[in-house]
Structure 1
Amino acid sequence: MEPDARRPTDPWIAALARLYDQQLRGQVASYSNMYGGRSRSAAHLDEFFFRLVEIAEPARFVEIGAYKAEASRRARRTLPRARVVAFEANPHNHARYRGEIADDVPIEYLHMAVADGPTELTFHLRREVAGEQLREVTGNSSLLLRTAEDTTYEKVAVPATSLDAFFADELTVPTCAWVDVEGASGAVLGGGAGFFRSCTVVKIEVEEKPIWRGQWLSLDVLEHFLAEGFQPIARDIEYENQFNVVFARNDFARDPRVLAAAEYQGNYMTHHLHADIDDVDGTWSDGATQQPSAGADQPSAGANQPSVGAARPPAAGEQPPASGRGRLSGLRRRLSGGR
């Protein structure tokens, strides 16, 4: 399975995708790539996405490329009556987390790759990069091979399905979806035309620079969703060249509650984002550190976080913002229309 890097599209759709791309870049310009700004941008986008999920109240939530199934666990608590399905292709991840997930919340956590049709595929587990050994339990291996030539793989045959095949008898069930498949989005989207027509909101990881061979890039994904009746309404800057985009179906995007949530999100990013940090050591206003935890997955090669950026260093004698103003709980209240 190696989809074409480019998909044919209408030139007007391509132009609209470029326009949306520039608009989204302007939307996230408030985030710094210093002091944990990238990770905060991802956390804020997650809050916005789940606010839209609350508004949509889907009967089904599907996570593709689940790893620890953290999005599915949150969805289960947000949507107690919905069916929650999480697909994970890496057999080591599935073996590591299936028991923990079963003890935590009742979701369908499946060892299965999602692509465009085959019932078995080769999963490329990264074992060594430039002579450095890598762990088996990781969120950054893929069905696709890396563009870099310094990677050694363990090739594992894994069961596979397409979304249209797996949900063949339930293609009209209202759904929200989370897609994080390390470059294989083209195959997921290609095998899920009917499935995605049932979706109200989709969050998907994209790359604007090739990291995997034959992958769709961010503009390809934008073009696809625009052609299918979605519009991109928010993104983050989680990594350089690799980020997440939230798409909403056109009719849902006009819902006044969605418009209000988008307005609160934009207002927060424009006027209150500076209050996320109490001081320059990169801590949240509630004291939580912004440094990655020990053993946390590093960004994909080609998606590095620069060590310097556009953040304004605090002036001499400048006081930090009042504690608590920038907490995620404050953002949640704003997205819900609270004060």
Structure 2
Amino acid sequence: MGAVDELRFLTALYRPGSLVDVGAHEGLLTLPLSRLPGARVLAFEPLPAAFARLSVACAGIASIELLPQALGDAPGQLTLSTPVVEGVRQEQWASLVKKFAGFGPRVSAEKVQVPVVTLDSFALHDLTAMKVDAEGAEYEVLRGARDTLLRCRPVMTLELEERHREGSTWAVPAFLDALDYVTCFVLEGRWWPASALDRATMQQASSDPSDYAASNPYVFNFFAWPRELDTMVRHCLPEIKARA
């Protein structure tokens, strides 16, 4: 059985329309998603250095719209902090909710003010899929997309990690449940509801960006879909067993 990662999930359940990549970085998902027939990808990347590389990678591709903004639950500006470990920038940890203080002399932080907008402000009517990787700010991203989620009912992949935002692995699924969404993770070839996550054994890792140790398994990819699409999910990914 092939692993169910973000790209496979979004491709298997693809419907033509707009797709949103939150935390696009260098376009790892933006580029393949843009090649799907009838797709238009809105790629959000607020970190200036990453956005510059994303712009080069996506140059000339008409189906991609690049946005140097962060998504949140209110318009404005916020501080984006990027940890620097012994002089090496850890861009994949850049966060609007973490300050990276108190980790000792090995870790410092670069800070930049970035514009923040809500997804609802785009008034999308054809959103079919989202990838959300906001290093702890996923709850705010979804709060600012509430009307869009209710109107368009996209499928979603989310990276949720307690090391980035304590409580995120229950707060985000609870928010989505109120919108009649199912949120699951995959382990040993089976869909498990987000409520089955055992944080003590499935998601133990330090919030220190210089400490890479993590539990095995380390479950941080979550998949969400409107409850009315449950049958379609089972049909498109038949090798994944039903939820426990």
> For the superposition of Structure 1 and Structure 2, which TM-score range results when normalised by the shorter chain?
0.7 to 0.9
What is the TM-score when the length of structure 2 is the normalising length? 0.76
Deviation at 1:143, TM superposition (A): 0.8
Is 1:48 equivalent to 2:9 in the alignment?
A: yes
**Does residue 60 of structure 1 match 2:24?**
no
Equivalence for 2:59: 102
List aligned pairs for 1:118-129, cutoff 5 A: 118-127=75-84, 129=85
Matched residue, 2:226? 249
Paired-residue identity, %: 27
CA shift digits 1:106-162 (9 cap, x unpaired): 4112111111113221111222x3xx11227x2221112157621421210112101
d(CA) in 2 for partners of 1:161 and 1:221?
A: 19
Q: Which runs of 5+ in 2 are unaligned?
A: 188-201, 204-213
Partner of residue 141, structure 1: 94
Whether 1:76 and 2:34 are equivalent positions in the alignment is yes
Unmatched 5+ residue regions in structure 1?
1-29, 31-39, 268-339
1:117 to 53, 74, 79: 74
Counterpart residue type for residue 83 of structure 1: R
**Equivalent in 90, 101, 111 of residue 155 of structure 1:** 111
Alpha-carbon distance change, 190 to 113 in structure 1, aligned in 2, over 3 angstroms: same
**1:201: Cα distance to partner?**
0.5
CA distance in 2, matches of 1:49, 1:233: 14
How far did residue 60 of structure 1 move?
0.7
Which structure shows the higher helix fraction?
1
Alpha carbons of structure 1 residues 68 and 199: separation in structure 2 relative to 1, 3 Å: farther
**More strand by percentage:** 2
Mapping for residues 1-339 of structure 1, pairs under 5 Å: 41=3, 43=5, 46-53=7-14, 57-78=15-36, 80-103=37-60, 106-127=63-84, 129=85, 132-135=86-89, 138-146=91-99, 149-150=102-103, 151-165=107-121, 167-168=122-123, 170=124, 172-197=125-150, 198-207=152-161, 209-212=162-165, 216-235=167-186, 240=215, 243-255=220-232, 258-266=233-241
RMSD (Å) for aligned C-alpha atoms: 2.7
SS in 1 for 2:237: helix
| Distance in structure 1 (CA, Å) of the matches to 2:99 and 2:221 | 19
Structure number with the bigger relative contact order (C-alpha 8 A, sep ≥ 6) is 1
Residue matched to 1:16: none
Larger radius of gyration: 1
Q: Compared with structure 1, are the counterparts of its residues 105 and 42 closer, same or farther at alpha carbon in structure 2 (3 Å cutoff)?
A: farther
How far off is 1:104 after superposition?
5.8
Q: Name the CA shift for 1:148/1:121 in 2 (closer, same or farther; >3 Å).
A: closer
Structure 1 Cα separation of the partners of residues 61 and 39 of structure 2: 16
SS in 1 for 2:94: coil
